[in-house]
Chain A
Amino acid sequence: MYKNEVNEERVRQLEEKCVEIRKSLLNFIYRIGMGHLGGELSIVEMAVALYYEYMKYDPKNPKWEDRDRLVLSKGHCSETLFTIFSDLGMYTMDYMVEHFETLDTALFGMHSNRKYVPAIEVSAGSLGHGLPVAVGLALGARAQKKLWRTFVIVGDGELNEGSNWEAFMAGGHYKLGNLVAIVDKNQLQMTGPTERVMSIDPLDKKLEAFNWDVLQIDGNDMYSVCKALASLPPADPWAVRKPVAIISNTAKGKGVSFMEGNVKWHGGGIAKEQLEQALADVENGRKGRI
């Protein structure tokens, strides 16, 4: 069941996993020629901690009824999940490349489709959709006395969309203690810093005012991520309590020197020389921690 203790050795293993996932992700994006590397790299620690440690999840049976649900609302960052699915043994990287946006044989695309990839809970792409759907999933779990949790990852720029605030209001109203919203606060949206395009701070106070419990963490630090996920209250649908929002402070393009905090790396492909530099940066990041 859910782990409440944070094991330092396990944190180290998960950090190693993040290095592998970042390298595979970069290679994947290089091969398919498109992606949203900035936001895909910023969520790596959170996605790895969820899929490899904290979610009830069986990669061999992605439709297991009692699994925790993860809704990736920032659907343009699906390649991070695809890379994890590949690492978990669901698809080979070659298979994903061979079926990437190939018309009638396509299973994978810039935005994920649950009909093509069963491990995807909710098809996404248009922003501001994941949180309302997650509210419905959490309500449905409670009404059916199910023990699974619903996680939803939303972007900070995405919070410009008003539907999120309707859903925050509903999550607080219904006291959905089985719902966890993770805001990937990488502080950049497509054309510039979130604070310049449409300021969202003080985000913690806003979410508290919507009746959510708020955790603020360094979302690119595996220990902080694990500590936050380990501290979640039990996913027991009978207990009515505030939903949890994790404000995950991250860097867009995390791990790659020339991408970090650089608005130019919102979307696009990556050239061969850039790939080599990026892979070297990720490897250096591993060494830096030892």
Chain B
Amino acid sequence: MATQTTYDFDQMLSNAREAYGEELMRMADAGLEFFFTYSDNVAPSSSAGKFVQKYPDRCFNFGIAEPNQVGASAGLALSGRVVFAQVFGPFLSLRAADQIHTDIAYNDVNVRLIGTHAGVTAAGGPTHNCIADLALYRAIPNLTVVVPADAGQCVKMIRQSMDFEGPMVIRIDRGGSPDVYADNSYELTFGKAIETLSGSDLSIVSAGSSVYWSMRGAKILKEKYGISARVIDMHTIKPLDTDMLLKCAAETKNIVTVEEHSINGGLGGGIAEFLLESGFTGKFKRIGLPDTFAVLGDPDEVYKYYGMDPDGIAASIDKLLIAPPIIL
């Protein structure tokens, strides 16, 4: 059964970056002890900024120096407490890659790296796009990687990560993204994907705010093309829920992935690797950012340009299903 979502509700915007700061405040108010490190992009007016002002003794600003911030976060964790570290996503993954690999994952510390500005949500062009992070994280052992579908799920992940052993990356958007889930009463388990929409002709497997766009795409597929699409929220990119993938392959035959990341090395890449090794014979397509530095523009325009918006998702899936299978 599909979990109740906002599919039939009006689109509501929530902000994971605000929501996680509010959750840190709630956790600290409830007496939980943890450290928070941040870089020079936490505005005093943001919820994280307010948390810093209320609990200054547990919060440390590292300026514009991601390797030091990530390394020091590992040291703070080794001193005995869970650490949440907010870092601007592209600079977290690209500049501090060695620290994520060695200080966080290899040293096996309880740091939750909150990588913001996923995909093209930062706007500002390719220097500020976060398109290669999942490819890096997927190749680092001992790293759990989660991508909340909406702000409410981000809050659940932040809270549940307090009881999680080991390093984790939580990848969130820059700002407001549509809510996927109608409320937060559903159960979330790291590594266990959620079916957000039932369907039988294919499964759209997605993560992050792309889940919502996939659901909208599924609605268009149904109304315009008569195609029944199942939608899966694969919120944990690593480890992938392979049981869910096998179930989808068996029940819907065809699989399409949608992600706000380069189509190389991310969610779609990981799923393709698994499915091919599992003897999958259905149709398969990765939808995401192509292997190019993205065009400049407002994120919503960029999604349309690359066919990642609901209409684009629906059109390319229709094309995929109509096309005769390729027999090698």
Contacts and interface: CB of A to CB of B under 8 A. Distances in A.
Interface in A108-151: 113-115, 121-126, 128-129, 131-141, 143-144, 146, 150
A169 interface: yes
A132 B106 contact: no
Contact of A143 (B35, B62, B65, B71): B35
A137 B79 contact: yes
A106 B106 CA distance: 16
Interface in B52-101: 57-58, 60, 62-63, 65, 67-81, 98-99
A218 to B, nearest CB: 30
B25 to A, nearest CB: 18
B102 interface: yes
Overall SS of chain B's interface = helix
Nearest to A148: B79
A243 B186 CA distance: 49
Given A115-B108, A126-B102, A167-B72, A137 B65 contact: no
Contact of B67 (A138, A146, A163): A163
Contacts of A136: 71-79
> Interface size class for chain B?
20 to 34
A144 B72 contact: no
A123 B68 contact: no
A275 interface: no
A177 B76 CA distance: 16
A166 interface: yes
B76 A139 contact: yes
B103 A133 contact: yes
Given A140-B35, A144-B80, A146-B79, A170 B72 contact: yes
18 contacts: A122-B78, A123-B102, A131-B71, A132-B69, A133-B71, A133-B74, A135-B72, A137-B76, A139-B60, A139-B79, A140-B79, A144-B79, A163-B67, A163-B71, A163-B99, A166-B67, A169-B65, A170-B62
Interface of A: 69, 113-115, 121-126, 128-129, 131-141, 143-144, 146, 150, 162-163, 166-167, 169-170, 174
